[in-house]
Structure 1
Amino acid sequence: MDEKVYHLLLLILEHSHRRFSIQELSDELNFSDKTIRNYLKQLDVWLSQHSSCQIIRKPNQGIWIEGTKEDIERLKKYLKQNRYFIIEQEKRKTELMNILFTEPNPLSIKELSQRFFCHSDIIKKELEMIHEELKRQQVSLTIRQKEGVHLVGEESCIRNAYVHFLLHLWRSGGNQALFSFIERQTYDLLSFYTRQLLSSCDLHLTDEAYVKFVLCVFFTIQRIKKKHFVSGHTFSSDSFELDMSSFFSQIERSFACHLPLPEKQYLHSLLVSSRQLLSEQKSSFLSTDSYEFVKWFLTRLSERLSVPFTEDKELIEPLSYHVHTTLERIKHHLPIHNPMKEKIRTQYYPTFLQIYSLLEEEAPERLKQFKEDEVAYLTLYIESSLERLQQMDGKNKRVVIACSMGMSASMLLKTKLERKFHSLHIVKSVSFSQLKSVIEKEEVDFVICTNEPEQLDIPYIVLSPVLDKEEEQRLLNFIASLDEKRKTAYPLLKQYLSLETTFTQVSCSNPIDAIRMVCDSLSSLGYITNHYKDSVIQRESLSSTIMENEVMIPHGNDKEVLRSTIAIVQFKKPVTWNQKTVSLMFLLALKPSEVSHQRALFHELLSVCEDKSFIQELKNAVNPSEMLQFF
């Protein structure tokens, strides 16, 4: 934990009965509002791993710590007793990660502990944490007695893992956060060459894609100088869609390194698969494969959800551009990472599930390589279309959206705003680098940003692309618009519940045992076939269904459902699955013929998952009869 984050948490704990505003925290600690918001996000992650306490942020109410008196006192005592360890651990982990990627020769555990002036057990523990993070990027750590700590994985995966690490720093601290690891002069020179390249190729990348490409070029140079090269067979063709010869010559001349053909192919594939600004793209950029996939995808999804996505003209072209870059990354075996995956999966689970199932069950073999990160991106496009197909008229305020996350995020935010806040007129969606020039040319009332801007002379508000209910309320207050009443009843969900499919005080060591037990019971009652159980377990192994507030919603192949039902399982003691806690389970068994109800049903179920007090009532129920009374 950063020292400033530590002091922020301690301040909130010391005044646990007080509700702070951002401004009060900023004044108290002498940090900017932007810094406070970034640090609160870091605290959310840290607290989820180390305490049952939570930082609560609510419009017009403030910021405070929520937890029992005992938990708050315990956390306060832990912070004070372990101050040095807590602060130094995050610094050490960041530096340790950088060493693993950039040191010319592997270091042993002993050498690392001497460098950081700490016990070897601490280094081992932190290497285990890093190993778990790197596994998501298909890279692992091996420790050899005489050879030290090694990175193991394909060269392209190792490069992607390091760039992912640097991008994480950039997202939280901007360019300044990178300069601890890259000389500013080097970064500026690579940025200059990249801008020239993009101009000559008439390409316009999103802010994040631009930074990512610069970082990829930087680390490629470092790896080549250490004689680590990408495999030639990974990149299938030596022909180039874009003329990058001048760029390659500049790199070779300025950094005194030779770029072999596979390295040029690698950098070329990175560029053609980078996310671009929608407003600047040309239709000639697209491949036939992109259009064919989108046509198949929207047709089948329209049939599944009974929604005419194929009629949404604003969806087809941007989705085709997105799919084009995705197919390029798949073709060149470049990993895809979506930093918003978990939030998208949780908030839009019905849509996420339908897309995931469609690709898994019906997609051509080569398209089954779409992983959860990419499914989350597709979910944003489909959600934006759903919003658009139901949008309302009447707009007056002139707003610009500034987004660094690419067109799928900006499109979703734009369409959600236009539907839910009909007093808005979205003038344009731009990257942060374009924002200043657009404000100078256009008449704008205020700006909606997806992260804190460096400097703005007109009013702005920071919202995430998924625009959750808390943010809706903040925006309602900001523009003095109408409020949207929250539904508190779950009439559709209640239709699928019964006493015989509700189980309380269940003792199991893990959720899979509970799934087996419940499915055996449902099978004996005639709700499902014997094969449904295996399909639930298989799907759970592919994609976890754990939602907010310790709730899990597993489901299986709907072809094995005889009668629709939803079983509720209340665990006697919380169980752990995929490093998350589960206290309640809603096991879904819904017939294919009822697909038209499923979207509304899922939305009710997700509302239940988000209602912390309601979930607590279900956890406290002593028998099935009492539990069902809450619905």
Structure 2
Amino acid sequence: MTEAYISTRCKKILYMIMASDTYVSLPQISEEFKLSKRSIYYELCKINDWLSVQGINEITVVRGKGIKLTEEEKQQIEQVMEKGGAKEEYIFSPMERIYFIICYIIKSKEAVNVEQLAEYLQVSRNTIFNDIRVVVKQLQDFDLTLGYKSKQGYFIDGDSIRIRALFMLYINMLKPVYESETFSCLKDNSVEENLKKLQKIETKLNTSYVEGTLRSIAMLIPLMEKGNEELYFPDLKKEELENSQEYSLIEEEFPNLIEKEKIYLCLHLLGSRVSMNTMDVFNNYSKESNYELSKALVAEFEKVACVKFEDKDDLEKALYYHLNTSMYRFQYGIQVGNPMLEDVVREYSELFDLTKIVCHYLEQQIGLPVPEGEVAYLTLHFGAHLQKEEEQNEKIRVLIVCTNGISSGNMIKHELLKMLPQVDIVGVVSNKEAINVHDICDVVISTHKINCLVPVIVVHPILTDFDKKLILNHSVFKNLQGNVDVDELFQTIKKFVDNDKRDDLYNELQKYFESRNQRMTVYLDKKKKGLLDLLSKDLVFVENKKCRWEEALRKSAKPLEERGTINEQYIESIIDSLRYYGPYMFITKDVVLAHSQPKDNVNDLGVSIGVFKEPVQFSNFHEAKIIIVMSAKDQEKHLRVLKDIMGVFSVEKNVEKLEMAENPDEILDSLKLLIK
């Protein structure tokens, strides 16, 4: 059996789970080991890596309950432990090794050789050589290069600030690793000393930085101490920055840094505060290019998510203001963190994954990696502007008060209108703006307690199922949901009905209002359909004949048309779009995802797939071997399907496997294996 290692913390968590005969919840683990929810999931992944090597079933987390092992699984784990199969060392994942290698080379004063890396990571030289190939590709994506000095080792070459930005991003991704006490090669006495100095500055500023930010900066300070006169800060308001309290405290604690390094450190301390305004330290940083970039991001999201924003101008404007600050932070590798990241990933996983794909475009434009926290912020912006179905009815005026920014406030608005289309959202404001709210609204939905004369419903910044139930069960919204006293209503209207029909009337009233009251249950419990939920044998086919692209599209759409999911005009609108705009619906070099706007000639959510043995030529440079036709009635229900499609067809070997299918059964069998 392969030798495997497990950290002390993972071992303790595993023992805690094994000792329980019932479910062990994540809050219990968090309380016992003082870990965040994200860190717990990280440790569980490590435990599962170890269990997998031992041939034992991986543990799973049951939502709302936690983790429970069977007696057989407990015995298997105990047997492995007794045989010494749980060596207490840290196992780096493949990507952790890449991040570690890059950070270690950046921080090292000398070139780094393969033997050093193999020793620290506890892997073979061949594994390190394979990792180096990935490192080269990773650096190339950000206009950096991996150099090599004969008989000395590797070093990273390129723009100094970009190198540091990469260090700050990856060192934060390695946080669980250096918390495991196996990170000594990146930590030394100076790091702890620098951390204490930075914490002293934090205390004197009477502020609080995101957890881990100061430690990451402390790890970078030895690099700053070398002094780099080539650092360049375009459009910097030097005088304003040097007059800041942060700069004065840096001069007190780090007097030996050269001026440019003090400026660089000051930019980090200023920029790591969410409330920092870029215009405070830069001239004209809100460049026109940011607005063009925001427009391009919206267009890219529409293309990837197969949607059209009706309020595109508002979304572009919101992204423009957001990017004005974010771009500055990207450039200098400043990590602000996003306290809502875990909630966004959990509640809007499909939307988050699609936004992540869109962020590849952003990375190409700026030449820098986009942190997941930033992806989460952008997810909220896009999600808040997805179209809602309009419904006219009585209006209750609602004010949303949110301390976490306009993007999360707008997302609450979006979710509320999905639950209760009848309400009138009078505004999304900050705590400071929530003054005399009783003059403008009937109820406040807020992310924190506020004092006012109208009812206040306190919720999380990212609405949970509990929050949604709390809102709909509130007395203010009861009438909107049809929570009517049927007996009282019946007593009022029965006099207008003949006696022999009153029992039928009463039964019909009960059925009607029960149906309306189920609306929230359906809203909370509904699970978005994935690709496999929609596909069946009659919706996939293999075509052996040569086809022109228009004919291939009509053949691909025919199964949906025969089912009544779409009509003929839907596929014709796709063909018209491709004639006008060109072959923009290719999602990879061999795969077309054909779609038109939601609601246009669509009766239901649907997908059909055609595999063409003879490539279909869309232009001199575009040939398709697989055509997927997708229809959607709104801008959200298809996102899970789209996530599955992108997950499968963005991997070249998956496409090759599907291209080899000879019949519908083989296509479906392959997809079942590829979609987990």
TM-score normalised to structure 2 length = 0.53
Indicate if the aligned counterparts of 1:555 and 1:589 stay in contact, CA closer than 8 A.
Answer: yes
Indicate if the aligned counterparts of 1:97 and 1:130 stay in contact, CA closer than 8 A.
Answer: no
What residue in structure 2 maps to residue 347 of structure 1?
350
What residue in structure 1 maps to residue 514 of structure 2?
none
Q: Tell me, yes or no, if structure 1 residue 309 matches structure 2 residue 311.
A: yes
How many angstroms apart in 1 are the aligned matches of 2:400 and 2:162?
40
What residue in structure 2 maps to residue 486 of structure 1?
526
**CA pair 196-385 structure 1, distance change in 2 beyond 3 A:** farther
How many angstroms apart in 2 are the aligned matches of 1:196 and 1:568?
65
How many angstroms apart in 1 are the aligned matches of 2:471 and 2:634?
34
Amino acid aligned to 1:602: H
What residue in structure 1 maps to residue 553 of structure 2?
527
SS in structure 1 of the partner of residue 67 of structure 2 = strand
**CA pair 605-79 structure 1, distance change in 2 beyond 3 A:** farther
What residue in structure 2 maps to residue 567 of structure 1?
609
What residue in structure 2 maps to residue 40 of structure 1?
41
What residue in structure 1 maps to residue 501 of structure 2?
none
Residues 400-419 of structure 1: per-residue CA shift (max 9 Å, x gap): 8786xxx4764465445644
How many angstroms apart in 1 are the aligned matches of 2:30 and 2:172?
26
Q: Tell me, yes or no, if structure 1 residue 164 matches structure 2 residue 164.
A: no
What residue in structure 2 maps to residue 255 of structure 1?
254
SS in structure 1 of the partner of residue 23 of structure 2 = coil
> How much does 1:324 deviate?
0.5
Amino acid aligned to 1:605: V
SS in structure 1 of the partner of residue 61 of structure 2 = strand
| 1:200-239 matches, cutoff 5 A | 207-208=209-210, 212=213, 214=214, 218-219=218-219, 221-227=221-227, 229=228, 231-232=230-231, 235-237=233-235, 239=237
**CA pair 134-501 structure 1, distance change in 2 beyond 3 A:** same
**CA pair 524-599 structure 1, distance change in 2 beyond 3 A:** same
Amino acid aligned to 1:43: L
> How much does 1:31 deviate?
3.2
**CA pair 537-367 structure 1, distance change in 2 beyond 3 A:** same
Which residue of 12, 20, 24 maps to 1:7?
12
What residue in structure 2 maps to residue 190 of structure 1?
198
SS in structure 1 of the partner of residue 274 of structure 2 = coil
Residues 357-410 of structure 1: per-residue CA shift (max 9 Å, x gap): 9x79xxxx99676977667643430102338897997699x998786xxx4764
> How much does 1:479 deviate?
8.0
Amino acid aligned to 1:326: S
> How much does 1:171 deviate?
8.0
What residue in structure 2 maps to residue 319 of structure 1?
319
What residue in structure 2 maps to residue 572 of structure 1?
none
**CA pair 217-20 structure 1, distance change in 2 beyond 3 A:** closer
Amino acid aligned to 1:259: I
**CA pair 390-144 structure 1, distance change in 2 beyond 3 A:** farther
> How much does 1:83 deviate?
1.6
TM-score normalised to structure 1 length = 0.56
> How much does 1:480 deviate?
8.9
The number of residues matched between the two structures is 516
SS in structure 1 of the partner of residue 33 of structure 2 = coil
Which residue of 635, 645, 657 maps to 1:599?
635
**CA pair 127-291 structure 1, distance change in 2 beyond 3 A:** closer
What residue in structure 1 maps to residue 67 of structure 2?
63
Which residue of 486, 502, 505 maps to 2:541?
502
Amino acid aligned to 2:198: L
Which residue of 243, 253, 262 maps to 2:241?
243
How many angstroms apart in 1 are the aligned matches of 2:79 and 2:60?
17
Amino acid aligned to 1:309: D
**CA pair 266-216 structure 1, distance change in 2 beyond 3 A:** farther
**CA pair 19-132 structure 1, distance change in 2 beyond 3 A:** farther
How many angstroms apart in 1 are the aligned matches of 2:353 and 2:38?
30
Indicate if the aligned counterparts of 2:406 and 2:428 stay in contact, CA closer than 8 A.
Answer: no
> How much does 1:567 deviate?
1.4
How many angstroms apart in 1 are the aligned matches of 2:528 and 2:174?
40
> How much does 1:347 deviate?
1.0
How many angstroms apart in 2 are the aligned matches of 1:380 and 1:5?
33
> How much does 1:309 deviate?
2.0
How many angstroms apart in 1 are the aligned matches of 2:65 and 2:86?
30
What residue in structure 1 maps to residue 560 of structure 2?
none
What residue in structure 1 maps to residue 439 of structure 2?
none
What residue in structure 2 maps to residue 616 of structure 1?
none
What residue in structure 2 maps to residue 382 of structure 1?
382
| 1:546-565 matches, cutoff 5 A | 555=592
Amino acid aligned to 2:241: D
> How much does 1:325 deviate?
1.9
| 1:277-296 matches, cutoff 5 A | 277=275, 287=286, 289=288, 292-293=291-292, 296=295
Q: Superposition RMSD on alpha carbons, in Å?
A: 6.8
Q: Tell me, yes or no, if structure 1 residue 147 matches structure 2 residue 152.
A: yes
Report the structure number with the largest CA radius of gyration.
2
| 1:83-102 matches, cutoff 5 A | 83-84=86-87, 86-87=89-90, 100-102=105-107
Residues 532-572 of structure 1: per-residue CA shift (max 9 Å, x gap): 9x97998548xxxxxxxxxxx9546989xxxx974167xxx
How many angstroms apart in 2 are the aligned matches of 1:605 and 1:184?
48
How many angstroms apart in 1 are the aligned matches of 2:408 and 2:593?
33
**CA pair 110-609 structure 1, distance change in 2 beyond 3 A:** closer
How many angstroms apart in 2 are the aligned matches of 1:75 and 1:144?
49
**CA pair 219-487 structure 1, distance change in 2 beyond 3 A:** closer
Amino acid aligned to 1:44: C
> How much does 1:128 deviate?
5.7
> How much does 1:24 deviate?
5.9
What residue in structure 2 maps to residue 582 of structure 1?
none
How many angstroms apart in 1 are the aligned matches of 2:609 and 2:78?
37
Residues 139-178 of structure 1: per-residue CA shift (max 9 Å, x gap): 676675632454455422332233224434668999x999
> How much does 1:43 deviate?
1.8
How many angstroms apart in 1 are the aligned matches of 2:64 and 2:528?
22
Amino acid aligned to 2:321: Y
**CA pair 402-417 structure 1, distance change in 2 beyond 3 A:** farther
How many angstroms apart in 2 are the aligned matches of 1:23 and 1:448?
17
How many angstroms apart in 2 are the aligned matches of 1:319 and 1:161?
24
| Unpaired runs of at least 5, structure 2 | 1-5, 433-446, 474-519, 555-574, 597-605, 612-624, 648-657
Q: Tell me, yes or no, if structure 1 residue 624 matches structure 2 residue 623.
A: no
How many angstroms apart in 2 are the aligned matches of 1:353 and 1:108?
34
Amino acid aligned to 2:309: V
Indicate if the aligned counterparts of 2:595 and 2:629 stay in contact, CA closer than 8 A.
Answer: yes
| 1:117-136 matches, cutoff 5 A | 121-122=123-124, 125=127, 132=134, 136=138
Indicate if the aligned counterparts of 2:194 and 2:221 stay in contact, CA closer than 8 A.
Answer: no
Indicate if the aligned counterparts of 1:290 and 1:321 stay in contact, CA closer than 8 A.
Answer: no
Indicate if the aligned counterparts of 1:351 and 1:382 stay in contact, CA closer than 8 A.
Answer: no
What residue in structure 1 maps to residue 515 of structure 2?
none
**CA pair 79-248 structure 1, distance change in 2 beyond 3 A:** farther
**CA pair 142-47 structure 1, distance change in 2 beyond 3 A:** farther
How many angstroms apart in 1 are the aligned matches of 2:312 and 2:273?
23
> How much does 1:223 deviate?
1.3
**CA pair 292-390 structure 1, distance change in 2 beyond 3 A:** farther
How many angstroms apart in 1 are the aligned matches of 2:19 and 2:105?
38
